[in-house]
Amino acid sequence: MKKTYPAAALTLVGLLSMGTANADTEFAFSGFGTLGWTHSNNDGADYAASLYAPKGVGRTHSSGMSVDTKAGVQGAANFGNGLSGVLQVVSDYRADNSYRPQFEWANLKYQATPDTFVRLGRVVAPIFAVSEYRNVGYAQTPTRQPWDVYSLNPINHIDGINVGTRFEVGGGTLSAGLTGGHVKDKLNAARVDGPATIGNLNYENGASTFHFGYSKFKLDLALEGSQSTPTELYQSLVPTVGPMIGYPVANTRFKGVDGHILDLSYAYDSDTWLVQSEYAERRADSPVVQDANAWFVLAGYRIGNFTPFASYSRSKTVTSPLSHPPAASPFPGALTMACYGNPMIDPSCPQALQLDGLTQLINGLDTALAGDRITQHTASFGVRYDFHKNMALKFQYDRVFKPGSFATTNGGQFVNTQRSASWMTTDQSVNLITVNLDFVF
C-alpha cells in the first residue's frame, strides 16, 4: 500500500476539507514532533539546518539535539457553512537560545466551493514543494529536507490572505494558489520585516507531482549579534565614519531589500519507488542576501517498513554587485598602512591619511561582505523505519563539502558568529550523523 506521508501532514496543518453540512461547531486536536540527535566531526563552525538557530553542532558542541528536535500542537474548528479555523503552535530552537513556542498557522478559512477557498490570518509561506508541512518530520522521508536548498528561504510564515483553487486537467489535478501579506520575524542573525507575495502551481497526475513557485519580497533587514563578522562590523562603521569621507551612508538597517525566489520541483511516489528533485534560485539587490542557485535529487525504495534513501544537493553563490561603489584612494597603499589599524586615534597620522585609512577599511569590508559566499554540496544516505503506527525512526549520514580560498571567502550554510578565518578561507569537509524519532498524534 502506498504510504502517503504528505497526506498525513496536510491533515495536521488543517488543509483537509471540512464538511459544511453540520452547522454545529466541531473541534479536532492533533500534534507532531521530532526527537533528534546529530553529531558533527568538524569544530570549525556549527551545522544548524535552521534560519532561526544561532548555533548547532560542530564548534559549539560536537553533538546535540537542537538541529531537528521540535514539537507542535494544533487545534482545528469547523463552524459550518464553509467556515473553519486552525491554530498551530510549534516549539523549536530559536534565536534567543530557547524553545519558545510560536504560531505557525493562525487563520480562518472559507471554503467558497468544493474546489476554491480563502484564508485570512497567518499561514506558512508556500515557497518550496514541502513548505506547508516542513515542520512535520514524519511527513518526510529523510530526517530533514536538503538544507543546501531550503536555506535559501528567509520567509517562514506570512500574515495576510491566501487563496487557492483547483481544476481537473488532462487526467490530473491542477492547483493554483496566491498568498500575500506581511512578514515579521527574528532569524538567527537578523530581523526581517516587510511585504511578500507568493504564487504557486501544483499538478498531480498519478504518482507524479509537479510544482512551480515564485515569491517576491521587499524586506527591511536589521542585522544583530556581536561585531565579529564583516557584515556586523560594516554596519557599525559606515553610519559614523561614512560622512567624513563622502561615502554613501547606509542606514543601521538594510531597508527595502528587493528580491525573489523561483522554485521548480518534481516528485514521483509509487508503492515502492520514490523520487524527489527540486531547483531554486534566489536573487536580491543587496549583498546581505546572497544571490544563489541550489538543487537536490533524492531517491528511495520501500522494503516493507524500511525505506533506504540517498540524496545529493548543491548550493552555489552567484556573484552580486557591491552595496556601494568603492571610494578611490588618493594615496599609495604603503602610506596608509600605518594608519589602517587605528586611523582615528593615532596622532602620528595626518588627518588626510586617517580618512584614507577609513576609506580603505570600508571598501575592504564591503568587498568581504559581498565575498562571504554560501557555496557547498552534500551527499546523504539513510534509512527510515516505520516501526509503529504514526512513528518512524530515521538514521542519516551527511557529508558536506565547503570550498574556500583567500581570494573568495565562503562560509557555506553554517552558523556561529565566532567562525575562524581558516574556516572561511579553506576547504572543509563535515561528516554528520543524525538519529531522529518522528511521530504524529
Q: Looking at the predicted structure, is the pLDDT value of residue 18 above 50?
A: no
**How far is 354 from 339, CA to CA, in rounded Å?**
6
Q: What is the pLDDT of residues 71-109, one digit of tens each?
A: 999 999 999 999 999 999 999 999 889 999 999 999 999
Q: Locate 6 and state its grid cell.
A: 504528505
In a domain, 34, yes or no: yes
Ramachandran assignment for 268, one of left (phi > 0), alpha (psi -120 to 50 degrees), beta (any other): beta
3-state DSSP call for residue 362?
A: helix
Q: Looking at the predicted structure, is the pLDDT value of residue 195 above 90?
A: yes
Mean pLDDT of 171-197: 94
In a domain, 337, yes or no: yes
In a domain, 236, yes or no: no
Residue 124's pLDDT is 94
Residue 406's pLDDT is 73
Q: Residue 377 sits in which domain range?
A: 5-123+130-155+270-440
Residue 333's pLDDT is 45
Residue 343's pLDDT is 42
Residue 19's pLDDT is 40
In a domain, 260, yes or no: no
Largest CA distance in the chain: 85
Mean pLDDT of 314-333: 60
**Mean pLDDT across the chain:** 83
Residue linked to cell 511585504: 195
Residue linked to cell 467556515: 83
pLDDT band at residue 196 using 50, 70 and 90 as cut-offs: very high
In a domain, 187, yes or no: no
pLDDT band at residue 405 using 50, 70 and 90 as cut-offs: confident
In a domain, 245, yes or no: no
Helix (H) or strand (E) holding 153: none
Q: What is the pLDDT of residues 44-69, one digit of tens each?
A: 999 999 999 989 999 999 999 999 99
In a domain, 246, yes or no: no
Mean pLDDT of 409-426: 76
Dihedral through CA 89, CA 90, CA 93, CA 94, nearest 10? -40
Residue 190's pLDDT is 81
Number of domains in the chain: 1
In a domain, 295, yes or no: yes
Q: Looking at the predicted structure, is the pLDDT value of residue 193 above 80?
A: yes
